[in-house]
Protein backbone atom coordinates (compact mmCIF):
# COMPACT_ATOMS: atom_id res chain seq x y z
CA UNK A 1 0.00 0.00 0.00
CA UNK A 2 2.93 2.34 0.66
CA UNK A 3 4.19 1.84 -2.88
CA UNK A 4 0.71 2.23 -4.36
CA UNK A 5 0.13 5.38 -2.30
CA UNK A 6 3.23 6.98 -3.79
CA UNK A 7 2.36 5.78 -7.29
CA UNK A 8 -1.13 7.27 -7.13
CA UNK A 9 0.21 10.56 -5.76
CA UNK A 10 2.70 10.82 -8.61
CA UNK A 11 5.71 10.36 -6.34
CA UNK A 12 6.74 7.22 -8.27
CA UNK A 13 7.30 6.93 -11.99
CA UNK A 14 4.64 4.25 -12.44
CA UNK A 15 1.17 5.71 -12.09
CA UNK A 16 -2.38 4.46 -11.55
CA UNK A 17 -3.81 2.20 -14.23
CA UNK A 18 -6.36 -0.56 -14.73
CA UNK A 19 -4.04 -3.24 -13.39
CA UNK A 20 -3.34 -1.24 -10.24
CA UNK A 21 -7.05 -0.62 -9.75
CA UNK A 22 -7.86 -4.33 -10.10
CA UNK A 23 -5.20 -5.24 -7.53
CA UNK A 24 -6.46 -2.63 -5.07
CA UNK A 25 -10.09 -3.66 -5.52
CA UNK A 26 -9.20 -7.29 -4.88
CA UNK A 27 -7.42 -6.39 -1.63
CA UNK A 28 -10.20 -4.16 -0.28
CA UNK A 29 -13.07 -6.37 -1.43
CA UNK A 30 -11.51 -9.12 0.69
CA UNK A 31 -11.04 -6.80 3.70
CA UNK A 32 -14.55 -5.34 3.60
CA UNK A 33 -16.33 -7.91 5.84
CA UNK A 34 -13.92 -7.25 8.76
CA UNK A 35 -13.24 -3.56 8.14
CA UNK A 36 -15.59 -2.54 10.97
CA UNK A 37 -13.15 -4.11 13.47
CA UNK A 38 -10.69 -1.31 12.66
CA UNK A 39 -12.91 1.43 14.05
CA UNK A 40 -12.06 2.77 17.48
CA UNK A 41 -12.76 5.86 19.57
CA UNK A 42 -9.09 6.84 19.15
CA UNK A 43 -9.33 6.79 15.36
CA UNK A 44 -12.59 8.69 15.39
CA UNK A 45 -10.94 11.28 17.64
CA UNK A 46 -8.28 11.96 15.00
CA UNK A 47 -10.94 12.83 12.41
CA UNK A 48 -12.86 14.97 14.89
CA UNK A 49 -9.68 16.82 15.82
CA UNK A 50 -8.93 17.55 12.15
CA UNK A 51 -12.42 19.00 11.78
CA UNK A 52 -12.41 20.95 15.02
CA UNK A 53 -8.94 22.43 14.93
CA UNK A 54 -8.36 22.27 11.17
CA UNK A 55 -11.67 23.63 9.95
CA UNK A 56 -12.45 25.47 13.17
CA UNK A 57 -15.76 27.28 13.19
CA UNK A 58 -15.80 27.58 9.40
CA UNK A 59 -19.26 26.38 8.44
CA UNK A 60 -20.12 29.14 5.94
CA UNK A 61 -18.97 27.39 2.78
CA UNK A 62 -19.35 23.81 3.88
CA UNK A 63 -21.85 22.75 1.24
CA UNK A 64 -20.44 19.93 -0.88
CA UNK A 65 -17.80 17.47 0.32
CA UNK A 66 -16.31 14.50 -1.49
CA UNK A 67 -15.11 11.71 0.81
CA UNK A 68 -12.64 9.70 -1.26
CA UNK A 69 -11.91 6.08 -0.34
CA UNK A 70 -14.82 6.03 2.09
CA UNK A 71 -14.66 2.29 2.78
CA UNK A 72 -17.64 1.10 4.83
CA UNK A 73 -18.45 4.68 5.81
CA UNK A 74 -16.83 4.62 9.24
CA UNK A 75 -16.43 8.43 9.16
CA UNK A 76 -19.20 9.39 6.74
CA UNK A 77 -21.67 10.46 9.42
CA UNK A 78 -19.04 12.70 11.04
CA UNK A 79 -18.44 14.36 7.69
CA UNK A 80 -22.17 14.79 7.15
CA UNK A 81 -22.31 16.71 10.43
CA UNK A 82 -20.07 19.38 8.87
CA UNK A 83 -21.26 19.48 5.25
CA UNK A 84 -24.70 19.81 3.65
CA UNK A 85 -24.11 17.26 0.89
CA UNK A 86 -21.51 14.50 1.00
CA UNK A 87 -20.52 12.06 -1.73
CA UNK A 88 -18.78 9.04 -0.22
CA UNK A 89 -16.79 7.45 -3.03
CA UNK A 90 -15.16 4.04 -3.02
CA UNK A 91 -13.85 1.79 -5.78
CA UNK A 92 -14.52 -1.47 -3.89
CA UNK A 93 -18.03 -2.80 -4.44
CA UNK A 94 -17.73 -4.90 -1.27
CA UNK A 95 -16.81 -1.87 0.82
CA UNK A 96 -19.81 0.03 -0.53
CA UNK A 97 -22.04 -3.01 0.04
CA UNK A 98 -20.95 -3.21 3.69
CA UNK A 99 -21.58 0.50 4.30
CA UNK A 100 -24.82 1.03 6.19
CA UNK A 101 -27.27 3.45 4.64
CA UNK A 102 -26.49 6.84 6.09
CA UNK A 103 -26.63 10.54 5.57
CA UNK A 104 -24.21 10.57 2.59
CA UNK A 105 -24.56 9.53 -1.06
CA UNK A 106 -22.56 6.31 -1.49
CA UNK A 107 -20.96 6.12 -4.89
CA UNK A 108 -19.05 3.23 -6.47
CA UNK A 109 -16.36 5.05 -8.44
CA UNK A 110 -12.64 5.61 -8.84
CA UNK A 111 -11.27 8.68 -7.04
CA UNK A 112 -8.99 9.10 -10.03
CA UNK A 113 -12.06 9.91 -12.13
CA UNK A 114 -14.65 11.44 -9.84
CA UNK A 115 -18.22 11.64 -11.14
CA UNK A 116 -18.59 15.33 -10.33
CA UNK A 117 -18.04 18.50 -12.30
CA UNK A 118 -15.06 20.83 -12.20
CA UNK A 119 -14.62 23.06 -9.14
CA UNK A 120 -17.86 21.82 -7.60
CA UNK A 121 -16.45 20.65 -4.24
CA UNK A 122 -15.99 22.78 -1.15
CA UNK A 123 -13.92 20.01 0.38
CA UNK A 124 -12.18 16.77 -0.53
CA UNK A 125 -11.66 14.49 2.45
CA UNK A 126 -9.20 11.60 2.34
CA UNK A 127 -9.06 9.49 5.50
CA UNK A 128 -6.49 6.73 5.08
CA UNK A 129 -7.15 6.99 1.36
CA UNK A 130 -5.18 7.51 -1.82
CA UNK A 131 -4.54 11.05 -3.02
CA UNK A 132 -5.08 11.73 -6.73
CA UNK A 133 -3.63 15.26 -6.91
CA UNK A 134 -4.85 16.19 -10.39
CA UNK A 135 -8.38 14.99 -9.75
CA UNK A 136 -8.46 16.98 -6.50
CA UNK A 137 -7.29 19.99 -8.52
CA UNK A 138 -10.10 19.46 -11.01
CA UNK A 139 -12.96 19.16 -8.53
CA UNK A 140 -11.92 21.42 -5.62
CA UNK A 141 -12.88 25.08 -5.95
CA UNK A 142 -10.46 27.85 -5.03
CA UNK A 143 -11.04 28.54 -1.35
CA UNK A 144 -12.04 24.91 -0.81
CA UNK A 145 -10.26 22.56 1.56
CA UNK A 146 -8.38 19.29 1.32
CA UNK A 147 -8.57 17.32 4.56
CA UNK A 148 -5.93 14.59 4.77
CA UNK A 149 -6.01 12.19 7.73
CA UNK A 150 -3.77 9.26 8.65
CA UNK A 151 -5.41 7.53 11.63
CA UNK A 152 -2.19 5.83 12.72
CA UNK A 153 0.14 8.62 11.66
CA UNK A 154 3.34 7.43 10.02
CA UNK A 155 2.31 3.80 10.68
CA UNK A 156 -0.77 4.12 8.45
CA UNK A 157 -0.33 1.89 5.37
CA UNK A 158 -1.71 4.66 3.15
CA UNK A 159 0.38 7.55 4.47
CA UNK A 160 1.91 10.70 3.07
CA UNK A 161 3.61 13.45 5.02
CA UNK A 162 2.13 16.93 4.80
CA UNK A 163 5.24 17.95 2.89
CA UNK A 164 4.57 15.27 0.26
CA UNK A 165 0.91 16.26 0.02
CA UNK A 166 1.80 19.92 -0.52
CA UNK A 167 4.48 18.97 -3.04
CA UNK A 168 2.20 16.88 -5.26
CA UNK A 169 -0.78 19.25 -5.25
CA UNK A 170 -0.69 21.29 -8.46
CA UNK A 171 -2.15 24.38 -6.75
CA UNK A 172 -1.07 26.67 -3.89
CA UNK A 173 -2.40 26.09 -0.39
CA UNK A 174 -2.24 27.40 3.12
CA UNK A 175 -3.33 25.54 6.22
CA UNK A 176 -2.18 23.61 9.19
CA UNK A 177 -1.09 20.17 10.27
CA UNK A 178 -1.18 18.47 13.63
CA UNK A 179 -1.15 15.23 15.56
CA UNK A 180 -3.96 13.68 17.56
CA UNK A 181 -2.96 10.65 19.58
CA UNK A 182 -1.30 8.26 17.13
CA UNK A 183 -2.85 10.03 14.17
CA UNK A 184 -1.75 12.90 11.97
CA UNK A 185 -3.71 15.31 9.80
CA UNK A 186 -3.41 18.36 7.62
CA UNK A 187 -6.15 20.71 6.49
CA UNK A 188 -5.13 22.71 3.42
CA UNK A 189 -7.10 25.54 1.86
CA UNK A 190 -6.71 26.07 -1.86
CA UNK A 191 -5.54 29.63 -2.48
CA UNK A 192 -5.23 29.71 -6.26
C1 LIG B 1 -7.48 2.07 3.98
S2 LIG B 1 -9.14 2.06 3.39
C3 LIG B 1 -9.85 3.45 4.25
C4 LIG B 1 -11.32 3.40 4.34
C5 LIG B 1 -11.91 4.52 5.23
N6 LIG B 1 -11.59 5.82 4.75
C7 LIG B 1 -11.42 4.32 6.64
O8 LIG B 1 -10.50 5.04 7.05
O9 LIG B 1 -11.95 3.44 7.32
C10 LIG B 1 -8.92 2.71 1.74
C11 LIG B 1 -10.20 2.71 0.94
O12 LIG B 1 -9.95 3.35 -0.31
C13 LIG B 1 -10.60 2.63 -1.32
N14 LIG B 1 -9.93 2.93 -2.59
C15 LIG B 1 -8.73 2.49 -3.02
N16 LIG B 1 -8.46 3.00 -4.23
C17 LIG B 1 -9.51 3.78 -4.57
C18 LIG B 1 -9.83 4.56 -5.70
N19 LIG B 1 -9.01 4.66 -6.73
N20 LIG B 1 -11.01 5.21 -5.72
C21 LIG B 1 -11.88 5.12 -4.67
N22 LIG B 1 -11.63 4.39 -3.57
C23 LIG B 1 -10.46 3.73 -3.52
C24 LIG B 1 -10.50 1.19 -0.89
O25 LIG B 1 -11.45 0.37 -1.54
C26 LIG B 1 -10.71 1.31 0.61
O27 LIG B 1 -12.07 1.21 0.95
**Residue 9 alpha carbon to ligand 1 centre in Å:** 14
**Residue 29 alpha carbon to ligand 1 centre in Å:** 10
Ligand 1 atom at shortest distance from the alpha carbon of 89: 21
DSSP secondary-structure letter at 116? S
Q: What is the pLDDT of residue 15?
A: 85
Query: Among 3, 71, 102, which residue has the most ligand 1 atoms within 8 Å of its CB, making it the best to mutate?
Result: 71
Q: What is the pLDDT of residue 29?
A: 98
**Residue 141 alpha carbon to ligand 1 centre in Å:** 23
Mean pLDDT, rounded, of the chain = 95
Ligand 1 atom at shortest distance from the alpha carbon of 95: 27
Ligand 1 atom at shortest distance from the alpha carbon of 67: 6
* CATH number of the structural domain 2-190: 3.40.50.150
pLDDT, tens digit (0-9, with 9 covering 90-100), for 161-189: 999 999 999 999 999 999 999 999 999 99
- The low-confidence residues of the chain, meaning pLDDT below 50, are none
Q: What is the pLDDT of residue 128?
A: 98
Q: What is the pLDDT of residue 9?
A: 94
| Separation CA 108–CA 116 (nearest Å) | 13
Ligand 1 atom at shortest distance from the alpha carbon of 157: 1
Q: What is the pLDDT of residue 62?
A: 83
**Residue 90 Cβ < 6 Å to ligand 1:** yes
| Separation CA 31–CA 113 (nearest Å) | 23
* 80-89 CB contacts, 8 Å cutoff, 24+ apart: 80/104, 82/51, 82/55, 83/122, 83/123, 87/116, 89/114, 89/115
Q: What is the pLDDT of residue 59?
A: 64
Q: What is the pLDDT of residue 60?
A: 61
pTM over cut 0.95: yes
Residues 153, 185 contacting (CB under 8 angstroms):
no
Give the HSE-up count for residue 13: Cα atoms under 13 Å, Cβ half-sphere: 0
Give the HSE-up count for residue 136: Cα atoms under 13 Å, Cβ half-sphere: 32
Amino acid sequence: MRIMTRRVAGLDAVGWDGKARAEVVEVFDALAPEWHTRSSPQRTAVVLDAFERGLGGNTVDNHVAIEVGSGIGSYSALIANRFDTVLSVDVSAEMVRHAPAGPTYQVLADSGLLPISDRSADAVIAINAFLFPHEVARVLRVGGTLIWVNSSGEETPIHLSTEDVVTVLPFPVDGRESRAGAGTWCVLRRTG
